[in-house]
Amino acid sequence: MNHSEEIKAKIDIVELISQYLNLRPAGSNFRGVCPFHNEKTPSFMVSPEKQIWHCFGCGKGGDIFSFIMEMEGLDFVETLKMLAPRAGVVLDNRDFSENKSKNRLFEILELSLKYYNFILTNEKNKNENIDKIKKYLAQRGLNTEAINRWGIGYSLNNYDDLINFLKSKKYTDNEIFLSGMSAKSDRGKYFNRFRDRIMFPIKDANGRVLAFTARVNPDNQDKEKSFGKYINSPQTDLYDKSRVLFGLDKAKGFIKEKDAVIVVEGQMDVISVHEAGFKNVVASSGTALTVSQLNLIKRYTNNIILSFDQDLAGSGATDRGIAEALKMGLNLKVVVFNDKEVGKDPDEIIRENPTVFGSAIENSRHIIDYYLNKELKSLDLNNIDQKNKSVNKILTVINMLYNKVEQDFWIKEIGQKYSVNESFLREQLLKLGKNTNKINGFETEKKIDKNFVQVENLSSVNREDKLTELLMSLILRFPHNFDYLSNKLDLDQIPVKFRKFYEIMLIYYNQNNKKLDYNQFLDYIKGEQEFILDKQKAVSFFNKISLLADFYLYEHESDSQELNLSVKKEVLNIILDLKKIYYKNLIREKELSLSLAEKNNEKDKIESILEELKDLNDKFLHIN
């Protein structure tokens, strides 16, 4: 047994996934709301027996490794290393060659953090600038313990000290450059990217250093004017600022505990707010929240409290981050400070009076309420033009809300506060465009036979594919129907893309006493050389269809006679539908051939095609 198999055998998939989302029993499986796309009706299934998961909304699925890779943004080797201690598996010192170069970049960044932090905190380092930096950080409320906790450091006003230190540890100029810690002159000479700056390490959710934010020495005003107050590491193979939230590594546990996250703008804001006791805080680093950052947040909570120092009211209706958050169904609130604190950042307010910040968090307002109050403060309700623009502005934000009940509530609020007819507001909202609130690929569910879903009501790009997938899934779950299926449906009436797999199922079924055991069939697929070239895709497809029937039948008694009758009936319905699609396609092809023959005046060919068309139409009419 290799390391990955050993880890899979020792970690229960339900227990692991339950740490990220709420799962509820669904027959012999578990069901929940998918963390990888926006949905309200649960379409995420986990099988404790098979140790697999699949979402029938977005199509993602796999085992414990693929789940962690998706959730944490890790590659396979990183996931292996993350899960090994949990499973009590000791990995040997094998050479993970595909991950070696990336690991060296992580090592360079971790060493850089330690180097900068040592320069700042070691009492033997006597330097006027270092003393000024310590004094500045102390004024910002950061003692030595806090400095070490956050890995804060100082880069000397030197062009090569860090480079020389890293090269002494056997890292090359190119590796240091690729990590973002050095820059290159036009003449090709490498030099320290950061000089005479306070260094804040930026880490991923697992606490690995990805990059740095560097604040100019507060005593160096000329440099601040020339190069900017803050500069960041460039984008690298490890660092993409749109996919990182500063402080998430320290905040994620507290976010889950509080079921809310406080989002601020800057790194110092995060540190000050966290050190003051509000530990569920992260920073967007001065940019609008991106979809990737929102997906990070959604792993831990659906509730976001925005605490920005600039006024959101002017840009809120068009702010991309806010729009995306609302469309994803996240609950947004805004921290509102009184007039004395307006324009101050959270760091300033915390240092002046932490209780003011705490009170503001407790009394944060729903995003619509925030916009509404801001609008009404400066609005002349007797000015029709102003009133009309203001209503449209608020409606634009309401239209982004995922929840229809929320939309209805705020429509009533606007109607009362603006003295506008609700019917008119609803008409305006319709013009702006409705939120569809669809689950990808599954728009409606019309149920028959006690919770069995009619396949024709599954919205899909290719209905024939959906029919075939469900048919194969029902046969895997209820193999006693396979003989009936193989006698009623010809192989060429199965879509081409599924035909090979269907053949393998049929061969295995006939060779194994009319059985389709999951684990044994899985081993058979992995070992089958003649038919399957891409084993990974075959296994992924098999796992999907092995859960598909369970997804629709989870409320049935597993051995009920009623269930067996429903399945038999649905198998027959799918067979009939696939036959109809098959003959419709043949008829369409013949009609195209007939059109071409008529265009070329090929009389004999026309007569032959007409006879074939009559035969196909007769077969189509007699399907039922």
pLDDT for 457: 34
| Percent of the chain at pLDDT exceeding 70 | 87
| CATH number of the structural domain spanning residue 208 | 3.90.980.10
Q: Is the pTM of this model over 0.85?
A: no
- Which of 87, 119, 136 terminates a domain? The answer is 87
The whole-number average pLDDT for the span 108-133 is: 91
- Tokens at residue 578, please? 């696939």
Residue 204 in this model has a pLDDT that exceeds 70 = yes
In this structure, is residue 112 part of a structural domain? yes
Residue 338 in contact with residue 346, Cβ under 8 Å? Answer: no
Residues 223 and 248 in one domain: no
Residues 481 and 519 in one domain: yes
Residues 135 and 204 in one domain: yes
Specify the residue for token string 């140790």.
Answer: 51
| CATH number of the structural domain spanning residue 273 | 3.40.1360.10
In this structure, is residue 175 part of a structural domain? yes
Residue 505 in contact with residue 518, Cβ under 8 Å? Answer: no
In this structure, is residue 372 part of a structural domain? no
Residue 133 in this model has a pLDDT that exceeds 50 = yes
Give the range of the structural domain holding residue 421, as residue numbers without chain letter.
379-432
CA 45 – CA 52 distance, rounded (Å): 8
Residues 113 and 9 in one domain: no
Residue 623 in this model has a pLDDT that exceeds 90 = no
pLDDT category of residue 304 using cuts at 50, 70 and 90: very high
Residues 44 and 106 in one domain: no
The whole-number average pLDDT for the span 286-314 is: 79
Range scoring the smallest mean pLDDT among 143-157, 287-301, 479-493, 555-569: 555-569
Q: Strands 29-32 and 44-47: what pairing?
A: antiparallel
Residues 195 and 257 in one domain: no
pLDDT digits (tens, 9 = 90+) for 15-42: 999 988 889 988 889 999 888 887 778 8
The whole-number average pLDDT for the span 275-292 is: 86
- Which of 36, 58, 87 terminates a domain? The answer is 87
Residues 192 and 266 in one domain: no
Residues 415 and 480 in one domain: no
Specify the residue for token string 């003449």.
Answer: 187
Residues 55 and 192 in one domain: no
| CATH number of the structural domain spanning residue 13 | 3.90.580.10
Residue 576 in contact with residue 471, Cβ under 8 Å? Answer: no
pLDDT digits (tens, 9 = 90+) for 438-477: 322 223 233 333 333 333 333 334 788 889 999 999 999 8
| Percent of the chain at pLDDT exceeding 90 | 37
Where does residue 345 fall: left (phi above 0), alpha (psi -120 to 50 degrees), or beta otherwise? Answer: beta
Residues 34 and 160 in one domain: no
In this structure, is residue 608 part of a structural domain? yes
pLDDT for 316: 44
Sign of the torsion formed by the C-alpha atoms of 474, 475, 477 and 483: positive
pLDDT for 305: 94
pLDDT for 461: 47
CA 13 – CA 21 distance, rounded (Å): 12
In this structure, is residue 440 part of a structural domain? no
Which one has a higher pLDDT value, 556 or 325? 325
Where does residue 178 fall: left (phi above 0), alpha (psi -120 to 50 degrees), or beta otherwise? Answer: alpha
The whole-number average pLDDT for the span 233-261 is: 92
pLDDT for 455: 34
pLDDT digits (tens, 9 = 90+) for 358-377: 988 999 999 999 888 888 88
CA distances from 412 to 182, 316, 420, 423, 599 (A): 57, 21, 9, 10, 63
Q: Strands 197-203 and 153-155: what pairing?
A: antiparallel
In this structure, is residue 528 part of a structural domain? yes
pLDDT digits (tens, 9 = 90+) for 384-420: 888 888 888 888 888 888 778 888 899 999 999 988 8
In this structure, is residue 47 part of a structural domain? yes
The whole-number average pLDDT for the span 204-215 is: 92
CA 472 – CA 224 distance, rounded (Å): 66
pLDDT category of residue 338 using cuts at 50, 70 and 90: confident
Number of structural domains (the chain) is 5
586-619 CB burial, b ≥16 within 10 A, e <16: bbeebeebbeebeeeeeeeebeebeeebeebeee
pLDDT for 99: 66
- Which of 239, 272, 306 terminates a domain? The answer is 239
pLDDT for 624: 66
Residues 113 and 217 in one domain: yes
pLDDT for 454: 35
CB count, 10 Å around CB of 462? Answer: 10
Cβ-proximal residues to 538 (8 Å cutoff; 6+ apart), any chain: 501, 525, 532
In this structure, is residue 459 part of a structural domain? yes
Residues 269 and 235 in one domain: no
Which one has a higher pLDDT value, 619 or 193? 193
Round the average pLDDT of the chain to a whole number and report it.
Answer: 84
Which one has a higher pLDDT value, 162 or 441? 162
